[in-house]
Chain A
Amino acid sequence: MHRYRFILYRPIQLLPVLIGISIIIFVLVRSIPGDPVRALLGARGTPESILRIRAQFGLDEPLWTQYFYFIENLFKGEMGRSILYKIDVLELIGTRIEPTLVLVGGSVLLALLIAVPLAAIAAKYRGRPVDHIIRLMSTAGLGFPAFWLAIMLILLFSIQLDLFPVAGYGKTFGEKLHHMILPWLTVALALSAVLTRNLRASILAELHSDQATAARARGLPESVVFWRHVMPNSLVPTVNLLAINIGWLISGTVVIESVFAIPGMGQLLIRGIFTRDYMVVQGVAMTFACATVFVNFMADVLTVTIDPRVKL
């Protein structure tokens, strides 16, 4: 079991990484032109009220003190108060995290459901028409920008066919499902294209590998050879590719949530930037960073579980 030992010391290794990220985020957020209090008060702001609110949020302190508060809060598990919403940023994120989780989780699941069978079929029928079709589709899937694909899907399924809502999230489970299908599809089509290409190549290599030949020489049926020997070996490189893509996807939700008007973290981030709500932008960006780090960590756990040779 000692190949899982990295689970214990990896968080300690990651601490400096996260602190580095926090500095970058802090500096970037402060360098957004404009001032949060002026943005909040607009024309109503008197010099006194501006000063008062600046003091209230600690914005009159020197930058390094502000950063220190930010870090101190993070260690206490807090993220400060939103200047705009006047509530705890953590609480605010709590109300917005579900749609984003559902968006990312659902898209990844859907992408896998599309990619694994397609890659398997393309590899098995290599060079036949079905392989060419799948490869063409995955090449096409890579070429389309996500927002363009989203708009095309909306035009077709929501406006032409009236099957799905144009935008929003809904309240009941059924409503949410109905609203999320197009966003899921948008992300999954692009993601599954990458995964299919990669997985097809690994499956092809493994189908002709020595270990698969040896498994056939033991009299195992092709289905057993495929699912128990070819697939696990093919998945190892794909897991890492998936982790990298989920990392991209987490920040990519900003675009998807905007197009589909999904009230998630991405929307919160955009609104935070427009209103110069430092605390919110910091908090959301930090959450995205932690999520990305966590996904990569989970990918390592999965890789070690599939492939006992990997040493971390």
Chain B
Amino acid sequence: MSPPVLSVRDLSVIAKTDQGPQTLVDRVSFELNRGEILGLVGESGSGKSMTCRAIIGLLPSSRISISGGSVILRGKSDLTHLEESDMRKVRGGDIGMIFQNPSSHLDPVMSIGGQITESIRYHHQVNRAEARNRAIEILHQVGISDPAQRIDDYPHEFSGGMRQRAMIAVALACNPEILIADEPTTALDVTVQAQILRLLMDLREKRELSIILITHDLGVVAQVCDTVAVMYGGRICERGPKREIILDAHHPYTTGLIDCQPSGGSHRGLVKTIAGQPPSQGSMPTGCAFHPRCAHATKECAQTEPAAVDYQPNHMLACHHPIGEINEGGRA
């Protein structure tokens, strides 16, 4: 089997603060295969965006840095040790990124076409006309009708859904193999959200694109993901194939999230939430970060952090008292 397109190993991110260093991302590991869609779920503040920013080496401030781990691209280079100039080739060239709010993440004073051709011309030395043709082609691929006409439009001339398509086009301009999508549908209404998700699946199909899809919506995960990693307090607490996560989750936080889905059946019309607040920066609980909110917590949970265990080759779990029957056949 060919190596995973992206392999993240024990990636940690710390922030220097006045109260000392604080861990924002804690030994996160996952693999992303060619054509796979990995869902990264968790409440706001759990470190999903920070993990992805660390992968592409664009942490939001100089006080935040990678403190350990590796990010291996195609089984070869470790992105955490790449020179900035090589890293720039990776950004856009190997890994594209799209964001929650296309209105603020597109340059309002440059045309859509300008933003696409700019990347193409920077990554591949091609002339203006060639870049423009490629830009029209990519706009067509993301479902913009009449792309030759719309290419010179500015972001504000596009509707919300079209703007998200345009941002995808900008991110895919240089044919990256990996797309990181940070809550790409959170700001959109339901019908447009479904269209964008369909587009992402379509792109995965046609280009064998591998996608890391950040979301806090398990409904989105159920629709499009192959694999799911659940994050809590900077750690991945459970990771596995979508079917197993949705139907047979073992981590109390994962099952809590699933129970909170509005379409959960028994709680019709009433959205349940997990009691308590997610941990905030600087007040990370000892032991298992989830223990203050966990119904299954014991003394052990408050004292020792549960180890992340691959109890099956592709199902990881970090919990002292997992829910349900665990088949430990594949335990390493």
A: which residues have CB within 8 A of B?
209-211, 213-221, 224, 228-229, 232-233, 236, 306-309
In the complex, how many residues of chain B place their beta carbon closer than 8 angstroms to a beta carbon of chain A?
A: 33
Q: Is there contact, CB below 8 Å, between A219 and B110?
A: no
Interface of A is mostly: helix
Q: Is there contact, CB below 8 Å, between A217 and B107?
A: no
Flag whether B104 is at the interface (Cβ < 8 A): yes
Distance from B107 Cβ to chain A, minimum over Cβ atoms (Å): 5
Chain B hits for A232, CB < 8 A: 109-110
A-B contacts counted at CB < 8 A amount to 83
Interface residues of B in 100-119 (CB under 8 A from A): 101, 104-111, 118-119
Residue of A nearest to B104 (CB): A210
Residue of A nearest to B111 (CB): A308
Flag whether B173 is at the interface (Cβ < 8 A): yes
Chain A hits for B76, CB < 8 A: none
Flag whether B234 is at the interface (Cβ < 8 A): no
Chain B hits for A224, CB < 8 A: 118, 122
Distance from A311 Cβ to chain B, minimum over Cβ atoms (Å): 10
Q: Is there contact, CB below 8 Å, between A217 and B56?
A: yes
| Candidates A215, A221, A309; contact of B108 at CB < 8 Å | A309
Given A220-B119, A228-B110, A308-B156, are A211 and B91 neighbors across the interface (CB < 8 Å)? no
B: which residues have CB within 8 A of A?
56, 58, 60, 88-93, 96-97, 99, 101, 104-111, 118-119, 122-123, 154, 156-157, 167, 170-171, 173-174
| Candidates B109, B111, B119, B156; contact of A219 at CB < 8 Å | B119
Q: Is there contact, CB below 8 Å, between A218 and B171?
A: yes
User: Could you list 20 examples of A-B contacts with CB < 8 Å?
Assistant: A210-B101, A211-B107, A213-B99, A214-B99, A214-B167, A217-B91, A217-B92, A217-B96, A218-B96, A219-B89, A219-B91, A219-B174, A220-B122, A224-B118, A228-B110, A229-B107, A308-B109, A308-B111, A309-B154, A309-B156
Q: Is there contact, CB below 8 Å, between B92 and A228?
A: no
Top 3 closest pairs, chain A to chain B, by CB: A219-B92, A219-B91, A210-B104
Q: Is there contact, CB below 8 Å, between B118 and A211?
A: no
A200 to B192 alpha-carbon distance, docked (Å): 39
Chain B hits for A309, CB < 8 A: 108-109, 154, 156
Q: Is there contact, CB below 8 Å, between A216 and B91?
A: yes
A132 to B58 alpha-carbon distance, docked (Å): 27
Distance from B120 Cβ to chain A, minimum over Cβ atoms (Å): 10
Distance from A199 Cβ to chain B, minimum over Cβ atoms (Å): 16
